[in-house]
Each structure stands twice: as structure tokens, then as C-alpha cells.
């Protein structure tokens, strides 16, 4: 392997490796999007622990799952995405494949695009999750970008986005973050979603919806408003979803690729091709995480307990947003140009802070504070205990 050049560390997971190696006892990791509680721990949810006990007690076999996973899991995924009374939840036009995490779903979607729609370009928001272009490049799918973030207002560049979408050739695919846009935290309003959905239909573009944070924005149903608006407007789409964040099942790798076809036959054909891609890649999915999700969502008591745990995670993050903005205000630091109120308007785990590469680098080298190079800060890793140190360091690097 002497001729193999060393690859650079991953821009997000590589930070965790560097953080672990840092000897500074006051170090703070606000890189990767992983929820931490007020004590800085990433707990196993109580509903998950209970479900695991039930699974262990009742498990009779560890034989392979089907290539596309268990049908009960697929149904639970659809009920959560669409709402259990939505016609698509039980329609033969809708097929779901259990994948190893949301990343696995994206890669399988990439394999499907590459093998079955080889001329299609995939359009990504600028900016987007750092792994998106890499996943699709690895699958052999060409990518381009459309404007998304307006730096001046720290909001959505809605008009520029729509103008760009209008110019995309029919038949291309467009990746949209269903909620809690990663990295900006800026989401379209329900009205803007309807306009986007109408345009996708008019232009005959294939939506690929990445839904990794359902429940971390406003709530499980509220966060699905964009997806459901798209489903009302178009008759074909792909959805990549994940239970890493909302069930805290990060290392169980539990996600799904859902295909909505214009007809049951079209959905069935797409599913058959997805199964070919899966068989050639990882053969069939890992069972345990999906069993946890199925057990919780299939039991009214556990489901209620999980929803309360999810709401508590969301509320803690929103509390940290307010404290972060107030702590910066107190130090007379305005990351948004004039103030910090934009931080409290962003959704999900991240704050797109506006800090530049040099400032991010100084936070790391001088203060052992780890955030992503784009200036994305994981609010989910902030605590009352690390807030003053964080804001003092930010004040020092921006002045
Ligand atoms: C993130 O953006 O931090 C998460 O989605 C975790 C990851 O795999 O990058």
C-alpha cells in the first residue's frame, strides 16, 4: 500500500477523533450532531431500554432479515413519515427499505439514481451536510448546487432558490432537507414549502427528501409539513429517513429509504432495483435497532414515553439556543451582524454561527472547542456548565 496517499480526516467525525485525543480537561465537543443532556452525557432513552429488555426476553432467532427489512418496521416508518391516516402510509405506491442509518439510505438512493437514472444530476442546497456530495460522488451521481442560505438575513434565500429550481432540467433530482436543515437550521415555512412543491411538480423534478431530524424542530407532525406538501404535489419521490437522532439510536444504524411511485407497478419496479443495489452492498440490514423502533411505536405506552423523551430533548436544545444568544448578548458579541436573535429562530441541533475558518481554528487550537469548519455549532452539545467558557472564547476570537 506504499503508493496509497493518506486521506484527510472526515470534516465532522474526524473532529470527534481529534477531540478524544485532546488532553485539555476543559475541552468542549460541539462538532458532531449528537444529543447531550444537561450533564453532557448521551443517554440511552428509558423507552429504548425497556424495549430492549422486551426484545431480549422474546427473541427466538437471529436469522437474516429480508433484503428490504421487516414489513412491520417498514409500516412504522411510513406511519411516522406521512402520518398514519395519510393515504400514502398504506398505499401500494409506497415501498420502504430498511437501511443501515440515514447515510445508508442516501447511498442506496445514490445507487438507484446511478443505475436507473444515469443521466440525472442531483441538486444540493448550498450549503448542505458535508457528507452529501461525498456520498453521491461515491455512488457515481453528478451533483450541482442551488442557493439556499441568505447570509445577510441569516435566513432562507427563498427567491434565489426558486429561481435556480426553475432552471433545473426536467428529470433531474433535488435533495431537500425535510426539517432542521443541516448545517444552517433554516427551514422553509409551510407556505414556502407549498411553493417549492408546486415548482418541483411543474418542472418534473424528482425530490429526494432527507429526513434525519423528525421531531427535533417543532414536533413530529409539524416537521413533516414540507414532506407532506411535496407528496400532495408530485407523484414520485424518494425519502431517506433516520432514527439515529429522534430515538438516540446512533450506533444501531437504523434508517430507511422510502420510494413513492406514480403507480404500484412503478414503485414495485424501483423497489426491485433497490434490492439489487442492497444485495450487492450489505446484503440485508442489521435487525436490532429496527426492532427497538418497531417495539416502541407498536406499543401505546412506550410510544407515549418516547414522545415525551423526544420533547424533552427538543426543549433542552431550544433552552440552550436562548441561553447561547443571551450569553453572547451579555458579552456584546453579535454573530448575526446586528444581534443574535437568529440563533433562536434556527431549528434542530445546529446553529450556523457565521464564525469563519480562522475563528473556528482558533477556538480549537487556543480553547480546545471543537466545531465544524463551516461555523456550524452543535447546540445539542451545549450545557449550562460549558456555556460561559464557550461564549468567552467566541468573544475573544471575534474581537
Ligand atoms: C452530523 O451532521 O453531525 C450528523 O449527521 C452526524 C454525521 O454523521 O455527520
Counting from 1 in the atom list of ligand 1, the atom nearest the Cα of 182 is 2
**Cell triple for 21:** 485525543
pLDDT band at 253 (very low <50, low <70, confident <90, very high): very high
pLDDT reported for residue 337? 82
Q: How confident is the model over 367-378, as pLDDT tens digits?
A: 999 999 999 999
* pLDDT for res 273: 98
- Angle, in degrees to the nearest 10, between helices 46-58 and 300-330: 150
13 Cα–ligand 1 center, Å: 7
Q: Report the alpha-carbon distance of residue 330 to residue 65 in Å, rounded.
A: 55
- With a 6 A CB cut-off, is 32 part of the ligand 1 pocket? yes
Q: In this predicted model, what pLDDT tens digit does every residue of 200-248 receive, in sequence order? A: 999 999 999 999 999 999 999 999 999 999 999 999 999 999 999 999 9
pLDDT value at residue 99: 98
Q: How far, in whole angstroms, is CA 167 from its chain's centroid?
A: 26
Residues in the chain: 399
Q: Which of 17, 32, 100, 352 to mutate to test the pocket of ligand 1 (most atoms within 8 A of CB)?
A: 32
Asked whether 182 lines ligand 1 (CB < 6 A), one says: yes
Q: Is 129 in the pocket of ligand 1 (CB under 6 A)?
A: yes
**pLDDT of res. 312:** 98
Residues 21-75: tens digit of each pLDDT: 999 999 999 999 999 999 999 999 999 999 999 999 999 999 999 999 999 999 9
* Ramachandran angles phi, psi of 81, nearest 5°: -65, -50
To the nearest 10°, report the CA torsion of 99, 103, 106, 108: -40
Our answer on whether the CB atom of 257 is closer than 6 Å to any ligand 1 atom is no
% residues pLDDT > 90 (the chain): 98
Q: Is 200 in the pocket of ligand 1 (CB under 6 A)?
A: no
Point out the ligand 1 atom lying closest to the alpha carbon of residue 212. 5
> Could you tell me the pLDDT band of residue 163, with boundaries at 50, 70 and 90?
very high
Which among 13, 15, 105, 129 is the best mutation to test ligand 1's pocket, defined by most ligand atoms within 8 Å of the CB? 129
Catalytic residues: 129, 210, 245
Report pLDDT digits (tens) over 170-194: 999 999 999 999 999 999 999 999 9
As a whole number of angstroms, the longest Cα–Cα distance in the chain is: 62
Q: What's the 310 CA to ligand 1 centre distance in angstroms?
A: 18
Q: Is the pLDDT of residue 347 over 90?
A: yes
Q: Verify whether ligand 1 is closer than 6 Å to residue 374 (CB atom).
A: no
Check if 12 has its Cβ closer than 6 Å to any atom of ligand 1.
yes
Tell me the three state secondary structure of residue 342: helix
Give the pLDDT confidence score for residue 274 in this predicted structure: 98
Provide the b/e sequence for 110-139 (b: ≥16 CB within 10 Å). bbbbbeeeeebbbbbbebbbbbbbebbeeb
What does the pLDDT read at residue 84? 84
Q: In the 8-state DSSP scheme, what is residue 298?
A: T
Please give the Cα distance from 186 to 150 (Å, whole number).
10
Q: What is the pLDDT of residue 336?
A: 82
**Which residue is closest in CA terms to ligand 1's atom 1?**
33
Instruction: Tell me, in angstroms, the distance from the centre of ligand 1 to residue 59's CA.
Output: 31
Q: Is the CB of 33 under 6 A from ligand 1?
A: yes
Tell me the average pLDDT across 196-202.
98
Rounded CA-CA distance 108/128 in Å is 19
Q: What is the pLDDT of residue 146?
A: 98
* pLDDT > 70: percent of the chain: 100
pLDDT score at 338: 83
pTM for the model: 0.97
Residue tagged 475541552 (cell numbers)? 27
CA 176 to CA 183: how far, in whole Å? 13
Q: Which residues of 4-34 are buried (b: 16+ CB within 10 A; e: fewer)?
A: eeeeeeeebeebbeebeeeeeeebbbbbbbb
Average pLDDT on 118-141 reads 97
Q: If you average pLDDT over every residue of the chain, what do you get?
A: 97
Q: Is there an atom of ligand 1 within 6 Å of 131 CB?
A: yes
Mutation to probe ligand 1, out of 10, 12, 240, 249 (largest number of atoms < 8 A from CB): 12
SS3 161: helix
What's the pLDDT tens digit per position in 66-103? 999 999 999 999 999 999 889 999 999 999 999 999 99
Spacing, Cα 32 to ligand 1 middle (Å): 5
212 in Cβ contact with 242 (< 8 Å): yes
**What's the 245 CA to ligand 1 centre distance in angstroms?**
10
What are the grid coordinates assigned to 386, written together? 460549558
**Which residue's C-alpha comes closest to atom 5 of ligand 1?**
33
How close is the Cα of 225 to the center of ligand 1, in Å? 23
Say yes or no: CB of residue 244 within 6 Å of ligand 1.
Answer: no
Q: Which three cell numbers stand for residue 66?
A: 429480508
Residue 138 has pLDDT above 90, yes or no: yes
| Cα-to-centroid distance, 43 and ligand 1 (Å) | 18
User: Distance from the CA of 12 to the center of ligand 1, in angstroms?
Assistant: 7
Residues linked to residue 377 through DSSP beta bridges, in sequence order:
351
Amino acid at each position: 500500500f506504499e503508493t496509497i496517499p493518506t486521506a484527510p480526516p472526515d470534516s465532522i467525525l474526524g473532529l470527534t477523533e481529534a477531540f478524544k485525543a485532546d488532553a485539555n480537561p476543559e475541552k468542549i465537543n460541539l462538532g458532531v450532531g449528537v444529543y447531550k443532556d444537561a450533564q453532557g452525557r448521551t443517554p440511552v432513552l428509558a423507552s429504548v431500554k425497556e424495549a430492549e429488555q422486551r426484545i431480549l426476553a422474546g427473541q427466538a432467532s437471529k436469522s437474516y432479515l429480508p433484503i428490504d427489512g421487516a414489513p412491520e418496521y417498514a409500516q412504522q416508518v411510513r406511519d411516522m413519515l406521512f402520518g398514519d391516516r395519510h393515504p400514502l402510509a398504506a398505499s401500494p405506491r409506497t415501498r420502504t427499505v430498511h437501511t443501515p442509518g440515514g447515510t445508508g439510505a442516501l447511498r442506496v438512493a445514490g445507487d438507484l439514481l446511478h443505475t436507473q437514472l444515469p443521466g440525472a444530476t442531483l441538486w444540493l442546497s448550498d450549503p448542505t451536510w458535508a457528507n452529501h456530495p461525498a456520498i453521491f460522488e461515491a455512488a457515481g451521481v453528478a451533483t450541482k448546487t442551488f442557493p439556499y442560505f441568505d447570509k445577510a438575513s441569516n435566513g432562507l434565500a427563498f427567491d434565489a432558490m426558486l429561481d435556480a429550481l426553475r432552471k433545473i432540467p426536467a428529470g433531474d433530482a433535488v435533495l431537500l432537507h425535510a426539517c432542521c436543515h443541516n448545517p444552517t437550521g433554516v427551514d422553509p415555512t409551510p407556505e414556502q414549502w407549498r411553493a417549492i412543491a408546486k415548482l418541483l411538480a411543474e418542472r418534473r423534478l424528482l425530490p429526494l427528501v432527507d429526513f434525519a431530524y423528525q421531531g427535533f424542530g417543532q414536533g413530529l407532525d409539524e416537521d413533516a409539513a414540507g414532506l407532506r406538501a411535496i407528496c400532495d404535489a408530485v407523484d414520485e419521490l424518494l425519502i431517506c429517513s433516520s432514527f439515529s437522532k429522534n430515538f438516540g439510536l446512533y450506533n444501531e444504524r437504523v434508517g430507511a429509504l422510502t420510494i413513492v411511485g406514480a403507480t404500484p407497478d412503478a414503485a414495485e419496479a424501483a423497489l426491485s432495483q433497490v434490492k439489487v443495489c442492497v444485495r450487492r452492498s450489505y446484503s440485508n440490514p442489521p435487525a436490532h435497532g429496527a426492532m427497538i423502533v418497531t417495539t416502541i411505536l407498536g406499543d401505546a405506552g412506550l410510544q407515549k414515553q418516547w414522545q415525551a423523551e423526544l420533547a424533552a430533548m427538543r426543549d433542552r436544545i431550544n433552552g440552550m439556543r436562548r441561553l447561547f444568544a443571551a450569553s453572547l448578548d451579555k458579552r456584546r458579541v453579535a454573530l448575526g451582524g446586528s444581534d443574535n436573535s437568529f440563533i433562536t429562530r434556527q431549528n434542530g441541533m445546529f446553529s450556523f454561527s457565521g464564525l469563519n475558518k480562522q475563528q473556528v481554528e482558533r477556538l480549537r487550537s487556543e480553547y480546545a472547542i471543537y466545531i465544524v469548519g463551516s461555523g456550524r455549532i452543535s447546540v445539542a452539545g451545549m450545557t449550562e456548565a460549558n456555556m460561559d467558557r464557550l461564549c468567552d472564547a467566541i468573544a475573544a476570537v471575534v474581537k
